[in-house]
Amino acid sequence: MSGSFQGYAQMISSIGRGRDNVWSEGIGKSNPWGRSFKVQWLCFNDLPFHKTLHLKNPLNGYKPVKISRDCQELSPDIGLALCELLDGKNDTNDLLTR
């Protein structure tokens, strides 16, 4: 509900059974996040969704990248373009044909 992407991270451990540093333990015995793993945040930056409307994800029916769930897989070229926008390396005024 933030209206923006907040950054990107790299997965630095295998998926485990431990529940250390899980954002939410859920209600009762359920864990809505699945098994936990460690990440290293590489970039923290607010990128408003309206600046990403030109990026369409072929792995999600060519919907705009803003229309996705957490951990939605992106094609490599769209993932790179999104990271470049988060890094401030790409001007969204340049119309990308992706």
Evaluate whether residue 93 is within a structural domain: no
Evaluate whether residue 98 is within a structural domain: no
Evaluate whether residue 97 is within a structural domain: no
Confidence bin at 12 (pLDDT 50/70/90) = confident
Q: What is the pTM of this model?
A: 0.70
Q: How many domains does the chain have?
A: 1
Confidence bin at 30 (pLDDT 50/70/90) = low
Evaluate whether residue 40 is within a structural domain: yes
Element (H, E) at 6: strand 4-11
DSSP 23: S
Tell me the CATH number at 81. Answer: 3.10.590.10
56: containing domain: 4-87
Evaluate whether residue 45 is within a structural domain: yes
Evaluate whether residue 96 is within a structural domain: no
Residue-wise pLDDT for 41-62, tens only, equals 999 999 999 999 999 999 999 9
